[in-house]
Chain A
Amino acid sequence: MDLDQLLEISNQCIHSEPPVCVASCPVHMDVIAFVSEVEKGNFSGAYKMMESKIPLSRLIGKICDHPCEKACVRSHAGGSIRIGELEKSVVTFGYSAPKKPLLLPKNKGNIAVIGGGLSGCVAAIELDKKGYKVALFEKSNRLGGRLWEYVSKGLEAREIEEELGMIEQKGIAVHYGVEVLEEDLPRYLETYDAIYLGARTWSKSYTVDPHSFQSEISALFIGGGIQNPNALMIESASSGKRAAVSIDRYITQSSMLASREREGVFETKLHYATDQVAPLASVPLSASIYSQDEAAAEASRCLKCQCDACIKACVHMQRFSITPDSYIRSICHNERIVLGTRRANLMINSCTECGLCKAVCPVGIGMADIIHATRESMVKRNKMPLSAHDFALKDMAFSQSDYFSLVRKQPSKEASKDLFYYPMIAFSAYARGLYKGSGKTGYLFYPGCQLSSTHTDYIGSIYKHLVGVIKEKDAMSDVGLFLGCCGAPADWAGRGDLMHDNVEKIRQTWEAEGRPTFILACSSCASTFAKYLPMIQTVSLWEIFDTYGLPEVDIKKGKRELCIHDACAIRDNPKIHESIRNIVKTLGYSVQELEYSKEKTKCCGYGGLVACANPEQAEEFAADRICESDPDVLVYCAMCKDMLVKGNKRAYHILDIIYANEINQETPQKMPTLSDRQNNRKRLKRQLLKEIWNEEEEGAMDPTYDFALHISDEITALMEKRFILLGDVEKVVANSLSHQERFFNPKSSDYLARLRIQNVTYWVRYEESGRDITVKDAYMHRMEVVEG
């Protein structure tokens, strides 16, 4: 993993990018922090915010031309925030006289400031703060220049005198009535280490660097009126402040321009969208300035512009309270740890890799690819927590084993001849399809492992329907069947090795079958095929249904409203979105679109194996999605249905409505357990082989036990939570009975047994009554206990 490249991406994140008001303020006042204090009624706190950025803030605060207001994005939604008026109120209600300045030794150098106007005063104050001995030369008998034009126009003479009086109190030597001319400059340059020239007029023009204010005479810095005679007051103040920074860098011999690209007014990358913002008018002034309450009300209109589109959309980022830029930095840190705890592991394994952050990001940063690369890197370096994905990977291995995996061509014409009789051949499109068997597999129906686990009984009917409708239109293309797992769990777990093997097997099957088009029913399969098997042409089952027709079932004209939860894995596949909506409408339902739908859909929480690695996070994803919808939800991914139903939301898979199997509104929906899922896959293979291919599965693979297990709903729920399968419990009990390897509790008459299966030790506490075994507890540990 190229961590430097990753950090480059984090630098593009605009979460920390300042709002346009700050970027358009020559001194970058933190407007959001300022208005937040005003909103809270903390005027002294707000004044401190002004003071930290605005020189002579007591004065400037009252007369600033507030370029920020012109830029304010609220202007399109009721009018700009009246920041200028807020500043006036804050100076009035929040100003307190500064403490007497501490006179620190001024030993960094001697600086002359020529011109006691606003920029000169600001430069003198800033240089004094930095530890320079400053001499300020003013040709008139008072400091402040243009500030005096504001007397009775926003300022009082007393305020100006008090504020500027501080300059001398700080220890700055002010020389009144001294007019420095061009011919005097050489003498000043000899006497002082550097000069700031802030006079309004000057007889000679110099070339001045617009960023550093340095002239061709390296010790001479020029700002204020000479540089920009029409400058706003805040711009003059800014130039004095920035020149002081340059003089300090010049004296300390540091880089004149490094890290100063964004001084003064700059263009922010943050473009805050206001199209969703309800307009709200400015609070009118009831007197010459806002009262405290009026100011707080006006401040509350501020949108506090910040890019947080991804955080708003993602409960994972919310849970870990993280932004993409800090997320990437945490990943880099986690990757670099040699010895010590990798604290970001859980976070990295709690991302669903759903891609929503990228879909909503204005600069297109997405965490999915980054998280995927990180997980692969963790696996390669043997740093991936074993328990995070162990169950899912074992379940995937089950799907790939002979228990489920199956490839069959369409039953041949010869093998199906028993079906070719009247009226069967007239009424069954399936029988007609078989009759047209060409022996060439044009399509392979690939239902995927999860749909087969949870909607087992639809698969055979779908297959028959596909044979019927496809053969009717395309007599040359037979429809075969392929049961297996696309490898999505391995991909999510960062197991590039397993993924590679799995993809290769699918590719070989595709070649062996004559390169048929795969009909995919699972959104994760669709995403996996697009990513790893681009050479294979695929079509979604929903598109086939939409174009070739739906199975003929007794459609109840429900006409209910359903909201569609799109699957995140195919957010970029508008064809599927379209087909699903067409099917739903054809079946007589109306559709309510969710705020986050289609390319901006949210994950149900199953993606990225989060349900395995961090079940609580997965539940939050589901809960977040559920809150969005009022009507029942329609999904087309088996795992989405599972997650939403577990979160107590009534959800239907599109097959439920196609086959008119919406269960009674009153009864709670129930999803199969992890053990049921494996058993359903086994059962599906057996049933299809028998029903469609007239084959008996070779050898009974299921072990048989001479005891009967009884497990309550409560213990079943506990086993689900702990990822313990019924088969594991059976093995523990069987072992304990045959070897008497168990503990006995004479008081309760319970038995407790353990058995290590692969890398996990399972424990079962049970009561034995003849051949009836009642399970009372089941738990596990991965740690190996050495007995003996």
Chain B
Amino acid sequence: MNEHIDTTTEWVCDKCRQALVSQKVKVRYLDGNFEVDLLKCPTCQMVFISDELAMGKMLEVEKGLEDK
């Protein structure tokens, strides 16, 4: 999960009307726990995951952990 993740985006939090900021976020799956930089709303903390990230790198890591 250390690959470069795009930290610029046009998306904003709809509720808080805040621009998203890149921050360390905890992600976990099976026995894996990571901290990665992801875009999130600075107010409500909702984390943004793009299609490319979910179906690309995240899926790859999920599969890797499943085979451990």
Contacts and interface: CB of A to CB of B under 8 A. Distances in A.
Interface size class of chain B, counting residues whose CB lies under 8 Å from the partner chain: 20 to 34
B66 A722 contact: no
Contacts of A387: 62-63, 66
30 contacts: A340-B68, A342-B67, A343-B67, A345-B66, A386-B30, A387-B62, A387-B66, A388-B66, A740-B14, A742-B15, A743-B11, A752-B11, A752-B48, A754-B49, A763-B49, A777-B51, A779-B54, A780-B54, A781-B55, A781-B59, A782-B62, A783-B27, A783-B29, A785-B27, A785-B49, A786-B25, A786-B26, A787-B40, A787-B46, A787-B47
Contacts of A742: 14-15
Interface residue range, chain A: 35 or more
A781 B12 contact: no
Contacts, number: 91
B4 interface: no
A741 B46 contact: yes
A281 B49 CA distance: 68
B67 A787 contact: no
A221 interface: no
Interface string B1-30: 000000000111111000010000111111
A742 B47 CA distance: 10
A744 B12 CA distance: 5
Given A785-B27, A785-B38, A779 B13 contact: no
A785 B58 CA distance: 11
Contacts of A779: 51, 54-55
A763 B52 CA distance: 12
Contacts of B29: 782-784
* Minimum-distance CB pairs A-B, first 8: A385-B66, A786-B26, A744-B14, A783-B29, A781-B54, A740-B15, A743-B11, A779-B51
B7 to A, nearest CB: 15
A743 B51 CA distance: 14
Contacts of A385: 63, 66-67
A286 B48 CA distance: 79
A177 B48 CA distance: 96
A745 interface: yes
A741 B45 CA distance: 11
A747 B54 contact: no
Given A783-B61, A786-B28, A743 B48 contact: yes
A788 interface: yes
Listed residue (B14, B55, B64) with the most chain A CB atoms within 10 angstroms of its CB: B14
Contacts of A343: 67
A713 to B, nearest CB: 19
B30 to A, nearest CB: 7
Contact of B62 (A340, A341, A783): A783
A744 B9 CA distance: 11
A337 to B, nearest CB: 9
Nearest to B62: A782
Contacts of B55: 722, 779, 781
B38 A743 contact: no
Interface in A736-757: 739-748, 751-752, 754
A777 B45 CA distance: 23
Contacts of B61: 783
Nearest to B30: A386
Contact of A746 (B10, B38, B63): B10
